[in-house]
Amino acid sequence: MAFKSMKTYNEERYGGKFILADDGDSADVIFLYQSDDDVLIADAHYIKSAEYTGYVHHCEVACPACAKGIRVQSKLFIPMYVIGSDEIQFWDRNVRFQAVLRQNVFNRYPNPSEYVFRITRHGVANDMNTTYEITAVAKNTIMSYNEILAKFNAKMPDYYSQIIREVSAEEMSKMLASSGSESAPSETYEMPKYQVTPRTTVVNRPVETTPDEIGEDELPFDTNDSELGEDDEVDF
C-alpha cells in the first residue's frame, strides 16, 4: 500500500527539525551552546535522491552537486533540546540569523545552555515577513548541557549528522544519479476540443455550495523556513 498517514509523512520529512508552524506558536528550548564558539556554519547542498533527501556538505574539490547546478547554501543549524517534545532538534536557519542569536542570546547570556528560552513565531504560515522572538524565561534546572547529551548519546559536533551528511564526491555522484530528476520523461497531454452547446434555462432550481466545492486546490503546507532552504530558500 502506497499511502502513508499524515503523521508518518511529517515525521519522516520533518523529524529532528525544529518547526513552529503558524503565528503565535512557541516552544521552550535549551540551546546546546556553551559559548558563541560552539556556533557552527556549513556550506551545504540540498539534494533529493532515492536513498536520501536532505542536506549534504559541499565538496571542496570537484563537487558533483555544483556540477549539476545545485547551489551552495551557507547554513546555520542550531541544536537545541526541545522541552515539550523531549528531544534534540535542529533549527534550520540562514547564516544571517547569527545576528539574531548574537543580539538576543549571546550578548546577554554567554552560556545559553544554562537558561530556558522561549521562541515565539510572529507571522502566519508562508508569510515571508515572519520573525522570531527569543526570550530567556528561566534558569535551566532541568538538565545540564552534558546531561542532555548523555541522555541522547549525542556528541558534538558529530550529532550534526542528524541534519547534514558528510559524503565523498563519489557517494554524492551516486546519490544524484539515483534521483532520476534529469532522466524523467515529460508527459504530453492532448487537450480535447471545446464543443459549443446550446444554453438551457433552469427555472426555480437552487444552487448549493459546499465546503468541498470551494477549495479544489490542495492547501499549502507550511515548511516554517526548513524547506524554503532546499533550492528556493527565502530569507526572513
Question: What backbone torsions phi and psi does residue 18 show, to the nearest 5 degrees?
Answer: -80, 125
Mean pLDDT along residues 118-140: 95
Question: What is the model's pTM?
Answer: 0.73
What is the domain extent for residue 78?
A: 20-179+224-229
Which of 13-22, 41-50, 52-61, 109-118 comes out lowest in average pLDDT? 13-22
pLDDT at 134 over 80: yes
Tell me the CA distances in angstroms from 83 to 29, 31, 79, 87, 150, one per residue in order: 6, 11, 13, 7, 16
Residue 196: predicted pLDDT: 55
Residue 51: predicted pLDDT: 85
Let me know if residue 27 belongs to a domain.
yes
Let me know if residue 206 belongs to a domain.
no
Q: Give the span between the Cα atoms of 60 and 57, in whole angstroms.
A: 9
Per-residue pLDDT band at 106 (split at 50, 70, 90): very high
Let me know if residue 147 belongs to a domain.
yes
Residue 80: predicted pLDDT: 98
pLDDT at 6 over 60: yes
pLDDT at 193 over 60: no
Q: What cell was used for 196? A: 459549443
Judged by phi (left if over 0) then psi (alpha if -120 to 50, else beta), residue 24 lies in left
pLDDT winner (highest mean) among 6-10, 174-178, 207-211: 174-178
Higher pLDDT, 132 or 221: 132
pLDDT > 90: percent of the chain: 64
The residue count for the chain = 236
Mean pLDDT along residues 167-195: 64
| Total domain count, the chain | 1
Give per-residue pLDDT as tens, 30-68.
999 999 999 999 999 999 988 899 999 999 999 999 999
Q: Which residue has the cell 552534558?
A: 146
Residue 27: predicted pLDDT: 98
Q: Give the span between the Cα atoms of 78 and 41, in whole angstroms.
A: 9
Let me know if residue 205 belongs to a domain.
no
Per-residue pLDDT band at 214 (split at 50, 70, 90): very low
Let me know if residue 80 belongs to a domain.
yes
Residue 225: predicted pLDDT: 46
pLDDT > 70: percent of the chain: 69
Q: What is the mean pLDDT of the chain?
A: 80
Residue 66: predicted pLDDT: 96
User: How many other CB atoms are there within 10 angstroms of residue 55's CB atom?
Assistant: 22
Let me know if residue 195 belongs to a domain.
no
User: How many other CB atoms are there within 10 angstroms of residue 186's CB atom?
Assistant: 4
Let me know if residue 172 belongs to a domain.
yes
Let me know if residue 70 belongs to a domain.
yes
